[in-house]
Structure 1
Amino acid sequence: MRIEQARLAGVAVLTPEPFRDDRGLFTRTFDANLFDEWIGVPGTSASFVQDSQSRSAKAVIRGMHGRGGRGEAKLVRCAHGAVLDVLVDARPGSPTFGEHEAFTLDDNAFRHLYVPPGLLHGFQALTDTADVCYRIDRPHDASEDLAVRYDDPDVGIDWPLPAGVVSARDSAAGSWADLLTRLR
């Protein structure tokens, strides 16, 4: 497994190296020792406390979500299908604050992301169905939810497909300008 720094500060792209043969394939989707070595803090991998999974139809957009307080770290991968996964740096003081970066995650390359606390996260399903798995470092607390509309022009995400189903919550999310006021 390779771990590489993404353009956004603190974001890692984890790329497994599957063994493929006439039966199919086998791959390691997480390695705690490699992850802790990359983070530089032994035992960081043990802080993940919850695994979740979503299934989305083609063109569905979920996001852009984050957590206030001390934030939320997560590992994100697409177990079935493909998604365009997007991160927005919402950490005041970060060298990449306000910037976004997009990654294609799919069930062929098995790349996945380490998303440090303080980033907004969302994705669009690119295939008929897409299953996204999340490994999260603390239980959900709705009182700390942060959100920005997926189509906010100040963020400027270029989604590859016209927006499919978007939840009422995501459609009602505030703007980037609203979030900046809340972060100050």
Structure 2
Amino acid sequence: MKATEVPAIAGAYLFEPTPFADERGFFCRTFDADVARSVGLDPDAFVQDSLSRSARGVLRGLHLRSGDGEAKLVRCSYGKVFDVVVDLRADSPTYLGRAYFELSGETQATLYVPAGCAHGFQALSEPADVSYRIDRPHDPAEDVTIAFDDPELAIEWPLPVASVSRRDREAPGLAEALKHMERTRLP
């Protein structure tokens, strides 16, 4: 497994496994504690795993958490997604930087999203399963959502948006979300 820094997002990494393929299919390691440690991540910090399944064109995001934030490992375990990360850490050298990825069940690459970064994706296949491993138990009171179509972010989603949740559809723009993040930042 190889870990590569994501230049547009300080502290983000893409973990790419080395699959063993034969006539039966493939086998690969999707998480390696030693590789995580080698880039400064504590593998024992992750406390919750979740899975979402989305139909083609479904858009989820842009989401993050206020307070201490939430770091996550994200992997498309089946199908394919267009994945987006936006750095909202005011003290980050890549503040407001954006990074785009195609994650797929074929490659099984895992993206590490640092706390303080917004994350979202659009399913490119029918269906797409996305696995999340997060470093804090989920607290809905800390959820922050940013409009996926915010003109300041100008994210070019690859497909027409087939469906979004009510929360995502009614999300405030980037400027309002940043103000909320500032108000809720822990001392």
> Shared fold (TM-score greater than 0.5)?
yes
Partner of 2:185: none
Find 1:139's aligned residue among 137, 140, 155: 137
User: In the alignment, residue 61 of structure 1 is paired with which amino acid?
Assistant: L
Correspondence for 1:58: 56
Instruction: Judge conservation of contact 1:58–1:125 (CA < 8 Å) in 2.
Output: yes
Kept after mapping to 2: 8 A contact 1:54/1:131: yes
Partner Cα distance (1:138, 1:36) in 2: 18
In the alignment, which residue of structure 2 is the partner of 1:85? Answer: 83
What CA distance in whole angstroms lies between the structure 2 residues aligned with 1:46 and 1:132?
21
Match of 1:125 in 2: 123
Map of 1:13 onto structure 2: 14
| 171-180 vs 58-67, which moves further | 171-180
Provide TM-score, normalisation by structure 2. 0.94
Please tell me the residue identity of whatever aligns with 1:3: A
Pick the aligned partner of 1:108 from 106, 109, 121: 106
Question: Which residue identity does 2:88 align to in structure 1?
Answer: A
Gaps of 5+ in 2: 183-187
Query: Corresponding residue for 2:180?
Result: 182
Identity of aligned residues (%): 49
Match of 1:30 in 2: 31
**CA positional deviation for 1:180:** 2.1
Q: CA deviation at 1:183?
A: 2.9
CA contact (8 A) 2:145 2:167 kept: no
Q: Deviations over 1:103-129 (max 9, x none)?
A: 000011111101110000100000110
Counterpart in the other structure of 2:161:
163
Q: Aligned AA for 1:30?
A: F
Counterpart residue identity of residue 177, structure 1: A
Shift of 1:38: 1.0
Which amino acid in structure 1 is aligned with residue 26 of structure 2?
Answer: L
Q: CA deviation at 1:13?
A: 0.3
Alpha-carbon separation, structure 2, partners of 1:77 and 1:113: 6
- Secondary structure in 1 matching 2:39: helix
